[in-house]
Structure 1
Amino acid sequence: MYRLLIVDDEPILVDGIYRLMLDFERYELELFRAYSGDEAVEVLRRNRIDIVLTDIRMPGMSGLELQREINRVWPDCKVIFLSGYNDFDYVQTALRHGSVDYVLKTEPPEEIVASVSRALESLITERSNKQFVARAREQLQLAVPYLRREWLIQLCEGETAFVKVEPQQFEELDIRLRYEEDVLLILGRVDHWKEGWSASDKALLLYAVHNVAEEFLTGCQVQLVEMDRNRFLWLLQPAGRVPEPELEPEEAWAATVRLVQGVLETIQTTCKDLLHMPISLAAGSRPEPWTNVSAAYDRLRKLLSRGLGLSEETLLFEEADAPPEGRVQAERDKHDIRALVKRLTGAEFLFESGDKEEWLRTMEEIAQALRPYYADQPFFIEIYYALASMLLTQVNRWEDEAKDDLLADLDKWIQGGLQANREEAVHGLAALAMRLFDIRKHEQDDRTSQVVDRINRYIHEHLDKDLSLTALSQIVHLNPCYLSRLYKQTTGVGLLDYITDVRMTKAKEYVVESQLKMHEITKQVGFESPAYFARIFKRKTGYTPQEYRLLGQR
């Protein structure tokens, strides 16, 4: 939808152009009128306007002065000037300040319509222009560090599956590691911050720690990931294709691991002495494929959190020998289940958007993956109560009579779920979630229906008043464009079409059943003028109002 503002100090001209543009069908237009430059400024301050059709010479604020205000408030707005004067100097000034067109008042109405069409086409072209794409790319480059951090965090925490990642993402996110090679993980923790350090101080010092690491990890490429304000992760690869070309890959990586383990104490000491920051470190004992980064990160996090009795400057290494394959697979499975649960419990947007199918699909994945671990009591309790807690959060946000029933049902599964059949308990939580989705959908439908009913009632009761989208949107406190889309989606009928149909229905009643004159009927049902009313009446019924009255009296 586009918005057109018509401005002139001659009301008859403004109203005439307004009626002319009511028949404009090429694009959906919302029309506004102003009878002075000052009135136009008020309209511009309340509404985004796409095109202004204005007289170039007006008392008070001239069209050129108005143009400067338009350029300040809505720089992309197109301005079309109307004038009774074929004044070249005015034309030059208008064009120099960004006028899109210039139409003489003596020209036929079709020229005004054509000028508005050209302005709209220019707007559409500009909004799809490559300049917008180029600007978006520039802004994306500024956001790359943030996007890279978020992506790497999601990878480490299992929210992103590496198998779905394309190699070009490494280049786009400026990840200076090789996509096709394994990576070594080192997890760090700031044991405590000096009192009085600000958030910016802490961010700067984390980068200083990273610089210290790069200084000592010679021959390695290191990617920093700030996991949160206290934890950081280094992802590391040899700077070359292999650490030592004369060695086999496994031996070369073993040499790199020995290098890393040999310098971590030095990095730790340097951070304490130079930066006054005690840090703890936990390092992997072997390189990991990218597909296993999430599980490796989880192991290091557990290792660092357990510690060995020291609260500060812990320095730990994973066991060099790989655990049995069965244990590795079980840990990987549990990690994947936790990642699924985290994705689900963190996805409030699924409830907000009503995406029932996506929620159910993820829940079924969890149920299927969890089935082999029903006998693992601690793990099952962890997953089960994570799901129950998420549902409790959603239930607590309800403020109607359904809340008590939902809480009672949820309490049954929280209290008795672990004593019941575990398959049944998990599906009980899923069924409760489906009820939440259904209740939310019912509430949304009710609210939408109330909005539509209120709009319809207002239209029927105020046919002779302003029924523009802007006026109606203020009644229900919605954006005009959104109201238009919502109404069409809900009813299948365009809001402006519905208003015209209601006005026509009432007009036909007046024409046949009353003795009102046509100009009185025009005013009663809110048409712009008798001529416009007659034109629309003829288009809708095939008869003029007078012919229709005569037919009704037979």
Structure 2
Amino acid sequence: MIKLAVVEDESFVRKCLVHTIPWQDQGCCVIFEAADGKEALARLEEGLIPDIIISDICMPDLSGLELLEHLHCLYPDIRLIFISGHDNFEYAQKAVNLGASSYLLKPVEPEELTAAVRKASMSLVPASQKREFLIHTLLNGTLTMEMAEQSQELLHELNHAFYGAVSINFFNSKKTQFLYKDFFSYLSRHEDSVIRLCMLPYFMQFLILEKDERSADRLCRETVDFMEKSIQELYGPEYIITVSDICHGPNSIFLSTSSSVNMLNLRSIFPDKHVFRSAQSYPVPYEDYAAWSHIESLLVEAVLNGNHYKLNSTLDMAFRQLSLQPSPVSNVYYFVRSLLHTLGERLSAEGVDFQKLLNEAPEKTGFSASASLPQMRLRLGELLTYITEQLLRQPALNVDALILKAKRYIDGHLNDPNLCLSETARHVHLNPSYFSSLFSTRCGDTFINYVNRKRVDYAKLRLTVSDRKIAAIGEEAGYLNTSYFSTVFKKYSGHSPSEYRAMFTKP
């Protein structure tokens, strides 16, 4: 996680910079704040060393420029971002000459500041930390074209990695602080393979990445075993751990993390369980997998269509078959988890908050380990009926219309170099991570690939009908860096811009 410090003599501005921006979502945390450069140096001498300092220029005792001069001598690896109320060329020029990462004018927009922090971060972090930072930007939809260009090797690695997610929910957050030492020690031993996504007193989430599926699965299990042992000694039964399926490629990161979060709700359905793995991680307890998959599909369609008769008749058929199995109650447990997993994926793809539905389900729909088969049939019927009725009350989300609206927004902003996933998601009023998954599923391509293809198509047209310089056409297509434009153009067209233009130029 990137460590930040904020140095600003105006108390109100300083508090706003620290508290109004969700730094953790950006993979950052503020480790100290100071009223001037002198106080900042004192904190540094205490051993609080940030990666990036966000500082005003004009401050009493020790100005921002003087602070930067001290940093050059004492802490050359720290990056400094200046914010100033003075649109003064001399200030800006001196700041740049001294090596400031960015110079921003007040009032600073949150998006402008977070972009400057991302830019500074990419120039200082080691590979393991840069990997963690990239994953945060992928999840939040804030990966810019410039960052992608600077991180091609790491992105290539992420493209070929296998992922799994582990989530932990604590019901008594007062004791969590005692786990940090053990957990940080474990993370340091696996810094290349276990990424910390979130560590709060009540919730933690970690992403596992390995080069092959077997290694990712092994490390997921090892991580869960280690953490469960540490938690049990301190917490007893007041926790739940969930583990996602192992997925491949960066587009699956959101699927892995959201899957493990969604499974946290299974605690309300199975209160006696503490560790939940995705249904696909377990051996199928049925002799005829195809037949049971068909039953599962019938139940999902009955819920989505609001067909109570079909729902209950299919449940009766399923439980008759389950009663013939050697361990019927155990098999119901697997069956319910697989069914809820499939139903959750379908509803999430339609824009329904399945997690909220389960959270609000009546307590009587829970499953006890001591429940009989008829009791489980009754509980599952009540739960699915509740979900069906809630869906009938919800207005339908027209996903296709949202994707069309997003595409139109992209088409209208192709020439904007700041076009990114998070802004497009905001335009259609969706969470960036969810929008990323939805866009990839519906369009069959990632957001970045889609934008690059559209920009290259536009550039192709301009190269054949215009005699403008290649750099100018690149800017028209949203690429300020000519070298990067040429790289992207060749990747998607198979030719450099000059080669492509020559193909359509009459001799």
TM-score bracket, shorter-length normalisation: 0.3 to 0.5
Q: Choose between structure 1 and 2 for higher RCO, CA contacts under 8 A separated by at least 6 residues.
A: 2
TM-score by length of 2: 0.35
Find the structure with the greater CA-based Rg: 1
